[in-house]
Amino acid sequence: MTDKKDSLPKHLTMGGPGDKFIGGGKVNTEDWFVRVPPYDELEKQIKDQEIWFCSAPFQMLYTDTLGNFLPCSWADVEAFPSCNVKDTSIKDWFIDDSNLNQLREEMLTPNSDLTTAKKWCTSCLKQENKYGRSRRQSSLKIQSNDKGIWPGIRKAVDIYKKTGKGSIDQRIFEVQIKVFGNKCNLDCYMCLPYDSSTRATTMNSDDLKDQKIFGELSMEASRKLKTIKTEFSSSVIDQITEIAPYIYNLKLIGGEPLVMKNYYQLLQQIVDSGHSDKIMVKYQTNMSVLELNRLKIIDFIPKFDLFEFTVSLDSIGKENDYIRRRSNWDEIVNNIKSVSKYPNVRINVNGAISFLSVLSFYKLIDWFDKNVKHLNLSQINWSNIRNPELLTANMLPEEIKQELIPKYEGFPDIQNVLKEGHGNLDYQDTFEYLLMNDNYYKDTKYEMHLFDVFPELEKFYKPITKDKK
């Protein structure tokens, strides 16, 4: 593993990893606006952090799994009364929504109290306060140096300043959608049942129905998702196709989008519209499969300008297969090899730093570094999960955290979460949950045991006795 930040290659620094830790609500902006044309007052305000700016409200269209419109995939859905695809068109929401326009105003106002941002953008604000790094920061680092996208964002800002509204009239839009449901073929231990049909089934089994980790997130949410998926999918596909001339990239999120038929239908309709050769497609995928029945994703790759796969991985080998239960590391690598052969394919890796993944995530960073050229890999990124709290990296025993900190030299966001305490929470509850999960898979082909895969944890486990119950 690379020891010094200064020596980190581009694929480890492009989106933020390795940036200096600042905290206190500030982020490192030294690499912003380096490769764009000379900038003016707006860019200076952004770089100097005189305004808390994010591009998403000006160029992103996002729907969550239940069809709610949000400024981005990290925004808090509970912040405002739901504005949903069932009763509002994509265009109407993006141009006229009063809360969205207020958010835009706050992001362009020096010394704003960020009233709206503090409701919608809590995740980024909290991460920047603690670690000096967030999704907002990572995106700006990339976009502010992209000569193809930043001028368009700047124009969208200028239009808002003149009209007080959003605009859809240029090819800068990133459309992100989850509205087709939560169907997923994997059972990742840290995933919300809300985002995975397999996880929802597991969590409502006899083995796990009494767990406390995820609260009430269960089959009730899953039933809601099925309704949304069948009721609004055609309308959403039509609306996205309508704005295809203005789409810069189309990000498809699940569940697992490669096992969801509606995503293949969307791609085909955009191809039929004649605009696909100008559009980048981004798949947020576990990369466990490349086809659904007779539908093959490789058939669509040549028809789009760029096809980007962001592969969700948290370690290598058996550690990754345990964290992302039902996955097979060798099959994932083979699928990466298959798509990497296409000249218009770009492959990224994205991880979730959690209680288990942080034990070996540094191995994945090393694997990525060694396979950049061989597998045509582009960038690796990650984020620290903050919910459920009992599954966060800071919940680990102190002895293990101290051993891990040196392994993440050069990556202050990971180091700093390892330096956090866990308050009144007890990691024994985390162990019990993980062992419940193991029991669910007993005598199946996916059977694995926590302490076989992560033996370093076993000495810290104290089984619950009948008296304690």
Q: Is the peptide bond before 410 cis (omega within 30 degrees of 0)?
A: no
Please name every residue paired with 70 in a beta bridge, in sequence order, or none if there are none: 62
**For residue 42, is it within any domain?**
yes
**For residue 408, is it within any domain?**
no
**For residue 401, is it within any domain?**
no
Please state the length of the chain: 469
Percent residues over pLDDT 70 in the chain: 93
Q: Considering only CA atoms, which of 255, 243, 278 is closest in space to residue 199?
A: 255
Q: Considering only CA atoms, which of 353, 365, 364 is closest in space to residue 420?
A: 353
**For residue 35, is it within any domain?**
yes
Using CA atoms, how far residue 450 sits from 117, 212, 444, in Å, is 40, 19, 15
**For residue 444, is it within any domain?**
no
State pLDDT tens for residues 113-164: 999 999 999 999 998 988 788 889 989 998 999 888 899 999 999 999 999 9
Q: Is the peptide bond before 388 cis (omega within 30 degrees of 0)?
A: yes
**For residue 40, is it within any domain?**
yes
Strands 187-188 and 173-177: unpaired
What's the confidence (pLDDT) of residue 226?
A: 61
**Burial (0-12, 13-18, 19+ Cβ within 10 Å), 3:** exposed
Q: Which tokens belong to 207?
A: 């083995």
What's the confidence (pLDDT) of residue 12?
A: 72
How many distinct structural domains can be found in the chain? 1
Dihedral of the CA atoms 304, 306, 307, 311 (nearest 10)?
Answer: -170
What is the residue whose two structure tokens read 């604000």? 125
Distance between CA 298 and CA 286 in Å, rounded? 16
Please name every residue paired with 261 in a beta bridge, in sequence order, or none if there are none: none
Distance between CA 350 and CA 353 in Å, rounded? 10
Helix H or strand E segment including 66: none
State pLDDT tens for residues 340-371: 999 999 999 999 999 999 999 999 999 999 99
Please tell me whether residue 117 adopts helix, strand or coil conformation: helix
Helix H or strand E segment including 45: helix 41-47
What's the confidence (pLDDT) of residue 3?
A: 46
Distance between CA 437 and CA 202 in Å, rounded? 8
Amino acid at 291: E
DSSP character for 464? P
Q: Which tokens belong to 113?
A: 């109290």
**For residue 321, is it within any domain?**
yes
Distance between CA 204 and CA 292 in Å, rounded? 26
Considering only residues 232 and 218, tell me which one the structure prediction assigns the higher pLDDT. Answer: 232
Residue 38 is part of which domain span?
Answer: 5-391
State pLDDT tens for residues 39-80: 899 999 999 999 999 999 999 989 888 889 999 988 998 898
Residue 2 has pLDDT above 50, yes or no: no
Backbone angles phi and psi of 443, in degrees to 5: 70, 25
**Greatest mean pLDDT range, 47-51, 201-205, 206-210:** 47-51
**For residue 405, is it within any domain?**
no
pTM: 0.89
What's the confidence (pLDDT) of residue 469?
A: 46
User: Which residues are CB-contacts of 261 (< 8 A; sequence separation ≥ 6)?
Assistant: 292, 295
CATH of the domain at 119: 3.20.20
- The arrangement of strands across the sheet holding 69-70 comes to 69-70, 60-63, 173-177, 247-252, 280-285, 306-312, 345-353, 377-384
State pLDDT tens for residues 419-451: 999 889 999 999 999 999 999 999 999 999 999
**Burial (0-12, 13-18, 19+ Cβ within 10 Å), 246:** buried
Distance between CA 350 and CA 314 in Å, rounded? 8
Using CA atoms, how far residue 92 sits from 60, 143, 229, 289, in Å, is 14, 26, 21, 36
Q: Secondary structure of the chain: what % helix, strand, coil (to 5)?
A: 45, 15, 40
Rg (CA), the chain: 22
